[in-house]
Amino acid sequence: MQRSLTFAALLGGVLLAHASAHAAELTPAARELAAAAQKEGEMVVMWSSGTLGGPKGAAQFESAINKTFGINIKIKWTPGDSMPAVGNLIATTAQNKQPAPTDAYIGFSRGTALMQKYDLFEKAPWKSYFPDRLNDEMVEKDIYVKVQTATTGFSYNKALAPSVPEKMEDFLKPEWKGKFATTNVAAGFDQLAAKEAWGRDKTLSYAEKFSAAAAGFMRCNESQRLASGEFLALVMDCNGDSARNLKAKGAPLERKVAPDIPLISFFYLMVPKNAAHPNLGKLFVAFSATAEGQAIVREHTSSDVHLFPDSIMLKEIQEAEKKAGVKFASADIAWQETNDSGNQTQTDVQQLLIRNEKK
């Protein structure tokens, strides 16, 4: 018994020393943030089970954050609807002077840009927490922190596909009619209609034929419906995380970047101004940019931020650029603010898709 107690004490000492070593490497700002977060105790994150690993990812973030900062906080995952729907909940609670349903929010570049006018999210000295990771490329407007890079493309069942698609126009071929799905929000059409891609007129002309050929709607995280053969492709697929994950598990799926759309978008993390636990929210967001945080993101999404040298998305983008013969532009929040025509086109295409689906 004495030997067991001695071993337990020794192990505890080793773990504590390891945590202390991590803490010793932190900036003063990061240590101060961690201390404030510890006082808040438990944070809530609300997003879908397919976002950042859902409950499993939250548990991994909790363990890694505690280890890195030498603290003991809890992260509670709550099932959430789509990113825009959760954003609407944040806006509604803020308007009614109630706490936000989540202490950290994840949003796509287009939706995040559109939400700016409501002034819902906090500024923070992000670069002071991890200066080697949270730099000017990673942080926009001292509010929005990139957590994943996104490319626009399509996913398909390579075992059942009637032909191998390489570009968007391939889905207008006769053999694909009635065999592919799209999203009910016309995901990706804002970028297809951008000046760097097709522009508004060509995109609307394409959308008329595309909507007539589509078999129905599915969400971007429902790639099991491709694996089962219910649909043979999803066009466009919100970055293809779901298909990549199933492919890694043996599903006969393939994901391709559309060469027609030479743009790089992002998913961002941010902290609502009405967060119940703002310091925990900031700690979570800042940690997501560390090597450990990006490893968790990568495990659950098969993607990461391409701005780091060890990124898997960096390789995908370099290969896509080589194949397309062009350098991809950054479709970040600042770029989204200039894409009014593309954004309006996406709305128009969404209405077209819904009208045709009801026929």
pLDDT at residue number 50: 86
| Gap between the Cα atoms of 159 and 241, Å rounded | 19
**242, 221 contact by CB (below 8 A):** yes
Backbone angles phi, psi at 75, to 5 degrees: -125, 115
pLDDT at residue number 4: 41
| Statement: residue 18 has pLDDT above 60 | no
**Residue 258, C-beta contacts closer than 8 angstroms, at least 6 positions apart:** 152, 153, 154, 167, 168, 188, 192, 236
**Residue 31, C-beta contacts closer than 8 angstroms, at least 6 positions apart:** 23, 69
What number of other Cβ atoms are within 10 A of residue 222's Cβ? 17
Residue pLDDT, tens place only, 213-252 = 999 999 998 999 999 999 999 999 988 989 998 999 999 9
State mean pLDDT over 46-70.
96
| Gap between the Cα atoms of 13 and 17, Å rounded | 6
Tokens 């002071």 locate to 128
State mean pLDDT over 112-126.
96
pLDDT at residue number 133: 97
| Gap between the Cα atoms of 157 and 177, Å rounded | 15
In terms of Cα–Cα distance, which of 5, 303, 26, 37 is closest to 151?
303
Q: Provide the terminal-to-terminal Cα distance of the chain, rounded to the nearest Å.
A: 75
| Gap between the Cα atoms of 283 and 174, Å rounded | 51
**16, 74 contact by CB (below 8 A):** no
**Percent with pLDDT over 90 in the chain:** 85
State the DSSP H helix or E strand holding residue 124, giving kind and residue range, or none if neither.
Answer: none
The dihedral over CA atoms of 344, 350, 353, 356, expressed in degrees to the nearest 10, equals: -80
pLDDT at residue number 20: 42
What is the number of residues in the chain?
359
Both tokens assigned to 35: 């201390």
In terms of Cα–Cα distance, which of 274, 238, 26, 46 is closest to 134?
26
Amino acid at 97: K
pLDDT band at 358; cut points 50, 70, 90? low
68, HSE (Cβ side, Cα atoms, 13 Å): 23
| Statement: residue 124 has pLDDT above 60 | yes
| Gap between the Cα atoms of 349 and 189, Å rounded | 7
| Gap between the Cα atoms of 272 and 290, Å rounded | 21
pLDDT band at 25; cut points 50, 70, 90? confident
- From residue 157, alpha-carbon distances to 78, 164, 188, 253, 338 in Å are 32, 10, 20, 5, 35
What is the average pLDDT value for the chain, to the nearest integer? 92
Residue pLDDT, tens place only, 251-293 = 999 999 999 999 999 999 999 999 999 999 999 999 999 999 9
Highest-scoring range by mean pLDDT, 1-5, 13-17, 19-23, 120-124 = 120-124
pLDDT band at 357; cut points 50, 70, 90? confident
Residue pLDDT, tens place only, 40-56 = 999 999 999 889 999 99
Domains defined for the chain, CATH in brackets: 2-147+266-301 (3.40.190.10), 151-264+312-358 (3.40.190.10)
Q: Tell me the pTM.
A: 0.88
Both tokens assigned to 203: 């995109």
**172, 206 contact by CB (below 8 A):** yes
| Statement: residue 24 has pLDDT above 70 | no
| Gap between the Cα atoms of 143 and 265, Å rounded | 17
pLDDT at residue number 23: 52
